[in-house]
Chains A and B, each alone.
Chain A
């Protein structure tokens, strides 16, 4: 069977990102390190997403170890960039690169 599964309507795309929940890399996603970050390919929806900083790659990789996305951001992201990285996680959730545990 091939192909594009139906994308969950608005999953994470609208409304606030649930940063208080625990998140993880979607098991249908292959993550490939690059010098500038990583490439994430979702085998289910065929989407290709670029994580354009090593910090973001570290964050995504360690998400599952924390009780919430906020805690992971606290631990991995320099002060002053937390909002930007939370928005980055929201975008990754919208593309289904990460999903809520």
Chain B
């Protein structure tokens, strides 16, 4: 904590000297803040798609979803805590019957809203409604520059629906929206084409990292980019500072010049997740009991969870470098992503499975049988024999064959 006392003669040098010695912003954020800067809020587990890699294993609405009143109370807490904006998702958030009421309630109170959508419900009329709201951003999800690449992961017709949503936003004069792409082994070859799609709408491209979370536990091996592809991605991003990443590729900063962003894991420190039943997790990529901090329905609400939960307090302690301590790049990558490690069975104090120096691959190879978590069914829709619906079936990833 910075002391603001004037030194003897009241010279400013004392204060500047204090600032020189003060912790960096990155260090301060690692220690957590009294309130999140922003957070992810999954409004519903209901979804009309069944993407193979869904990080929240969505599909079926949970009967215990927050009511409209409870959801407004969450917004009230965001106002009290001065959270600047909420990143709304799901499942498919537009399937919530109170979606527009809730978004309106938030923006009226100057809580910024950015929501992620598959676009299937973003009709021309809805686009006009959205265009009339202030403090609102929209992010449409696709995972390929063509239906051939995209629909393998997100389902037949999903690309067309997303493009129609984008056309509707453009026609409604919405202004700049975002196109959000999870980078996979198959779409990493299409980065330029994706940038061109964004340019054609005057939209911003956003690339995020695939984590082996939710249904992604099972599809990650086949879908995650190779080491060579990661390096190409890193250089591509360095050349395009206008492409957003949500700081999700900070593990790549070990390759050299750091990418834009804080380059640290914000989970439980400056951001977190509120899920459809009010559970609070460190981030949307770790929906697992291990990373559950509390519930907004508990006494003290979200504020109490953020400020006092033992999980978040422990995340705000300095983290052990563990097996990464001897690596000269640890400061740059901080050991990478907790979710990536947790869901591939790796210890949290060791290399990320996609460590750019291959230490993660080596660690994975050394894992005992059965250590790796299996995908939880979560809220996935299930077939008659109880297996989760995944569109398409996860064993066939041959987009080139689907001309």
Q: Which residues of A contact B (CB under 8 A)?
A: 1-4, 30, 32, 34-36, 39, 41, 43, 46, 48, 50, 52-55, 77-82, 84
Contacts and interface: CB of A to CB of B under 8 A. Distances in A.
A46 B135 CA distance: 9
Interface stretch (B30-38, B286-294, B311-319, B348-356): B30-38
Contacts of A53: 2, 4, 15, 19
Given A34-B34, A80-B13, A2 B82 contact: no
A78 B175 CA distance: 45
Q: Is the interface of B mostly helix, strand, loop or mixed?
A: loop
A2 B172 CA distance: 12
Contacts of A50: 25
Contact of B37 (A48, A54, A77): A48
Contact of A84 (B11, B16, B177): B16
Given A1-B134, A2-B177, A3-B175, A43 B110 contact: yes
Contacts of A46: 137
A35 B1 contact: yes
Nearest to A37: B2
B22 interface: yes
Interface residues of B, number: 39
Contacts of B131: 1-2
A48 B33 CA distance: 15
Give the 7 A-B CB pairs with smallest separation, nearest first: A81-B12, A80-B12, A3-B175, A78-B12, A3-B176, A41-B84, A80-B11
Contact of B138 (A2, A41, A52, A81): A2
Contacts of B11: 78-80
17 contacts: A1-B134, A1-B136, A2-B176, A3-B175, A4-B176, A30-B82, A39-B84, A48-B37, A53-B4, A54-B4, A55-B15, A77-B12, A78-B11, A79-B12, A80-B11, A81-B13, A84-B12
Nearest to A32: B82
Contacts of A48: 37, 84
Interface in B12-26: 12-16, 19, 22-23, 25
